[in-house]
Amino acid sequence: MKILKALFLLLIIVGCKDAATSKVEKANNSDTIDSATKEFREFKVLDSKYLTNIQIWEALNKGLEDFTEAKYNALKPLVLEKDIPTLQGYILDGNLTYESLTKFYLFRIRKYDRENNLSLNAVIAINPNSIKEARLRDEALRNRDVVAEDLKYSVYGMPILLKDNINTSEMATTAGAVALQNNNTKDAFIVSKLKAQGALILGKANLSEWAYFFCGVCPSGYSAIGGQTLNPYGRKIIDTGGSSSGSAVAVAANFCVAAIGSETSGSILSPSSQNSVVGLKPKIGLVSRAGIIPISSTLDTAGPIAKNVMDASIVLDAIYGCDAQDSKSFKSNNQKGGAVNYTKFKFASLRGKTFGAFKGLLEDSLYVKAIADLKSQGATIIEFEPKDYQLPDFLRLLNLDMKKDLPEYFSKYGDPSLDLKSVEDVMAFNLKDSINSMPYGQSLFEGIVADKATNEEFLEIKKQLKINGSLYFYFAKKQHNLDAFLSINNYHAGFAAVAEIPAITIPMGYTTTGEPKGLTIIGDSEKEILEYAYLYEQASKKRVAPLKYN
């Protein structure tokens, strides 16, 4: 039984079968099916054994003394579910300040996130300087050190959470692992970009430990440091999705304006779908991975998670860019050679656009309704059966990449005082207190160590996966002249990953049991799929905030 559970979870991680062909294969690709939900209702560990509310808030309680429940309630109509342009407008009009916005989110996290009947365990650390930094943003605006006209579509002053595998100087970067509890680092490249544009790093979000490539049979959303992240649409009932669980849950529960997640295969798409938010997995290399704890330098990418498409576009606009430290990084220019602006949408409708719908998914009523909404925007829908391509040795790609990529992270971006150099070092550390540091075991790390391959074998694995993933989409795209593909949740995340193409998921409704689902659009260009997603979102407006967190 244990082996079967591990296999099931590995299939979730790698998305290694075509989910559009049958109910069984859909289950293999998605961590949202009922059997998975039931299996994970009883958790070995719920609350962190390494983190308490007292520890999280001791540096900020004094700064929040003047922010009362009355002030919090007065600001609710101005903040809850509002997008970045609206928030920036309220600030420019004097109805909000960056300080009051930041305090609102801090108060809300402290109120809901841990050690109470509604706790979600979504946030793993708070930036102790967040209130001070918010005041500095207000001061700069008053002194006209920033141009007010430039703020509407800007991350300036916006409180953003980072998945806790992304380095930032204010807080340790743990990947949820006890071995990295004191991993104090410099900023990752994308964090430097956020700060340069005035974004406020609010804190770190919990995650599936080591980005869900560690324990094999653990529930998504669990880490030893952060505890078990829970879904606000059904605590202990509905799966959070992984591995950017805390990022998606925090956005869904209005703990921040937006968050940054990371994906190897489905780790942004899955939790975003499961928590009724928007998640964008960019093309590999558009967003730097330097300073982010890796699984696979072949497939990893960071990306935005937000409540709506516009906010996701604004955050992407802030974090993308070429980085000489990232081997896959590239310059993204528009047709005139200038920088791409992801926030300026040009399509008034989807008239003239053609999307491919997987025939095997048409039994899903929410998917069928989403297709109808796209048609109402003028889109043409082609139903098709994909060619039977497989993803051989996907797990081995992750094993072999992480075996070399994690030591590189330790040597270039980690805290040298930790004295960690390899996967084996982490495993040895965990064995010192296995009950607390690895209650679900570390079977995937064991698999990494056991996997041996020559350089030629490794290159062949990568080559074949890239070919198969690209051909999976290519033939249908060419035959039907498709602009993009329509999927559900993370069902085709594995193929999009190895093809190295972008995907975005948008809320498309809720099952009869209240479980969120997302329409996932897979295409060639972030700019285009963002625009398609925006038009679908405006036509459907399916997101509903979790009721108990209003």
DSSP-based three-state secondary structure for 301: strand
CA 508 – CA 528 distance, rounded (Å): 19
DSSP, residue by residue, 275-287 = TT-EEEEPPTTTS
Q: Tokens standing for 291? A: 């300073």
- The residue type of 239 is D
Which entry of 30, 130, 208, 243 is annotated as an active-site residue?
243
Compute how many other C-beta atoms are within 10 angstroms of the C-beta atom of residue 434.
11
Beta bridge partners of 516: 510
Task: From residue 472, give the alpha-carbon distance in Å to each of 320, 412, 416, 478, 518.
Answer: 27, 36, 43, 11, 22
- The residue type of 280 is L
Clarify whether 344 is annotated catalytic.
no
How far apart, in Å, do the first and last CA atoms of the chain sit?
Answer: 40
Helix (H) or strand (E) holding 75: helix 69-79
CA 132 – CA 372 distance, rounded (Å): 48
Clarify whether 375 is annotated catalytic.
no
Q: What Rg, from alpha-carbon coordinates, does the chain have?
A: 22
Alpha helices (runs of H) in 379-525, residue ranges in sequence order: 394-412, 423-431, 434-437, 443-450, 455-480, 493-499
Clarify whether 243 is annotated catalytic.
yes
Spatial neighbors of 437 by CB under 8 A, at least 6 apart, are: 177, 178, 179, 224, 429, 430
Per 3-state DSSP, the chain is made up of helix, strand and coil in percentages (nearest 5) of: 45, 15, 45
- The residue type of 463 is K
CA 53 – CA 65 distance, rounded (Å): 16
The residue written with tokens 């959303």 in the block is 221
Which entry of 17, 103, 163, 281 is annotated as an active-site residue?
163
User: Do 276 and 233 contact (CB within 8 A), yes or no?
Assistant: yes
- The residue type of 388 is D
Which entry of 100, 267, 273, 313 is annotated as an active-site residue?
267
User: Do 95 and 63 contact (CB within 8 A), yes or no?
Assistant: no
Residues serving a catalytic function are: 163, 243, 267
